[in-house]
Chain A
Amino acid sequence: MNFLKRSWLSVKTRKGKSLLQIIVFSAIFVLVLAGLSIQSAADKSSDLARQKLGADVTLQQDMDKMREKMQEQMATSGEGGGRMRIERTPIDVTAAEELTTYEQIKGYNFYSSTTGLASDFEPIENESSTENAEEEGPGGMIRGGMALGDVTLQGVAFTDSETDFMEGNATIVEGRHLTSEDLDKNVAVIEQSLAENNDLSVGDSITVANPSDESISSTLEIVGIYSTTSTGSDIGMNLAAMNPYNKIYVPYTAASTLKGTDYAGTIDSAIYYIDDPADMESFVEQAKNESSIDFDTFTLNANDQLYQQMVGPIENVASFSKNVVYLVSIAGAVILGLIVMMSIRERKYEMGVLLAIGEKRWKLIGQFIAEILLVAVLSLGIATVSGNYVADQMGQQLLNQEVTSAETSNMPESFGGRGGMFGGQLGGRMGATNMMQNQQAVIDELNVQVTGNDLGMLAIIGAIIAIFSALLPSLSVLRLQPKVILTKQD
């Protein structure tokens, strides 16, 4: 009877001890399997979220640094206490273009916005802006004397990746989008209401002028008409230029031209869309190391807030699951090791007999390992059957706790935990809507499925636990000589 047969016989005969080992092993396996499955499910969900959401990085003026600089200047010039004036510094477009070649990005857009005066068409106006216009003439003046036009010229590199279009608030209803092919061309995409009000269609032209210097004007050929669902803001509705129907998309080069010669070859900001939020850091790092952008003036703001919000709870669950796997594996190996150690000590006599007959020591160790592996295989079967259910319940429970915790931490203090305040005190629909959207964005369901990979990993972990828990106690006993063991037994 070889050592493998002996191990089977031993497990079969020592029913009580084998059952105890099976129970302990099954508990370990179920927890480890649950941990592994939750981790896999969490990773999968995170990957899906990453693929779905991506992330973006915005290149813009560093307002914090700018503020600090202005404060220093004011302190030096003795103007403390006066009104702070922030000076906008445009971004050199060639510097912004350098980043478009980085491999992390899947797309980009450049922005340059200004207002203009409608020269040969009528902007859409509302009651209050009409009253202001009657008093002040076309456009308006904002405090400080700066002229404000009656239309907004939103300079972009592409309209299809402009925020409103990407979020579905704006859609092309006629003609086409603006692309990088349109740069340096005087073309425009206008809103449907503006087009209808002025009887304009694709192929027609409109002229807009610089509100501060009407000698600077541009005639723009309409290449597309879009419709918007945006209602604009209450403040914005008082100013014609802020009316969403008066937003005209043009190539950023056209917007810069209308701003004046000082703005030639510049943009206000650039957005870089990154496939995988995980690459965001490397992108920013590469830009800081390799590009010619002056990071004393400009900054790259990473925006993966939605991704972080979405995956935050799930990452916590994954991290907890990983810890569970480690802890249970180590604690399990220790507990099992102690059980096996006790069992082996009780079996010194058997070892002495087998050694006296001439059994090789490695075969005795093999027998103990085979016994524990046999128990492990039976436990693996139990874990496979019950693991899916346990993992699913455990994963869902953990995720629910994390989601609740995330919601609580995201909720303003004034809500005081009362859901009724959403529509009441808050008043603003936007706030409530955003909150609802944010809550929906959180991954609050985990599709926990025990996969072949999880089982494979569990088998490896189980084998390691089994081997260590059998090997270490065996070594201590196997140092003994058979005569010593048998004499002590006698």
Chain B
Amino acid sequence: MTALLEFKDISYWYNQANKRHDILKNVNVEFNKGSFYTIIGPSGSGKTTFLALASALDVPKEGTVLYEGKDIKKIGLTNFRNKYVSIVFQSYNLLPYMTALQNVLTAMEITGSKQPNKKQFALQMLEKMGISEKNAMQKVLTLSGGQQQRVAIARALCCESDLIVADEPTGNLDEDTAKEIVRIFQELAHEVGKCVIVVTHDPSIAEASDVVVKLTKGSLSVKNKKEAVASI
């Protein structure tokens, strides 16, 4: 069976002062639909770069990122981001001059959501994330950090892609909301059949995931969950 997303011999580095700094070294890993993955690792281990490559925000220096067996470069990076992946950013990356609802609707419009009533759907998703209709109508800058994070997650979930990648999605959330978000990720993976990849430092999220991928100094290893959680 073809993996939904596959990293094949991926290496990534940058040069600084004529010195090469390796971020990822010959990484090979597969991600499948219906599973919830967490990427863990210490700071500087290459998690964010890994996520940037998975979401086509960047391209590897060596190797290929395949989506359903196709090189994402051939799919087109913009096209890939538009149709095949939803991203939850660590720093929310919401459009400040829009309301929460408008942020979600904008993403749905851009990704060509086929929902018949986009506004209704967006409001429902925001509600599910703990954003009331009143808050949904407010400019995002007037919302708290936690609320903005929820809007960012709602924005990603409203798009109909099979792949959801998230960078520290619960970093700014209280424990209850974080648990709710994790539950939603599980639901999306197990019931809706999506592939969810989350970069986290949070052991509870890693524990809730199906597969834990550990990055250490650019090298990747798929760990036993207990062992992995313990290493965080």
Contact = CB atoms under 8 A, between A and B. Distances in A.
Contacts of A354: 95, 106, 110
Contacts of B102: 1, 9
The secondary structure that dominates the A interface is: helix
B57 A358 contact: no
Interface stretch (B25-33, B77-85, B181-189, B201-209): B77-85
Contacts of A361: 78
B76 to A, nearest CB: 10
B95 A356 contact: no
Contacts of A489: 91
A483 B49 CA distance: 10
B57 A481 contact: yes
B189 to A, nearest CB: 22
B98 interface: yes
Contacts of B111: 357-358
B78 A360 contact: yes
Contact of A6 (B83, B94, B106): B106
Interface residues of B, number: 28
A359 B110 contact: yes
B107 to A, nearest CB: 5
Interface residues of A, number: 25
Interface string B83-120: 10001011101111110001001110111000000000
Interface in B127-186: 155
B58 interface: yes
A359 B81 CA distance: 8
A29 B93 CA distance: 37
A357 B90 CA distance: 14
28 contacts: A1-B106, A9-B98, A9-B102, A10-B97, A13-B97, A350-B95, A350-B97, A353-B93, A353-B94, A354-B95, A354-B106, A355-B81, A356-B57, A356-B87, A356-B93, A357-B82, A357-B87, A357-B111, A358-B78, A358-B79, A358-B81, A358-B110, A358-B111, A359-B78, A359-B110, A481-B57, A483-B58, A489-B91
Given A6-B106, A481-B58, 7 more contacts: A350-B95, A356-B57, A357-B81, A357-B155, A358-B82, A483-B57, A486-B89
Closest 9 pairs (CB-CB, A-B): A358-B82, A358-B81, A13-B97, A483-B57, A1-B106, A353-B93, A483-B58, A359-B110, A1-B105
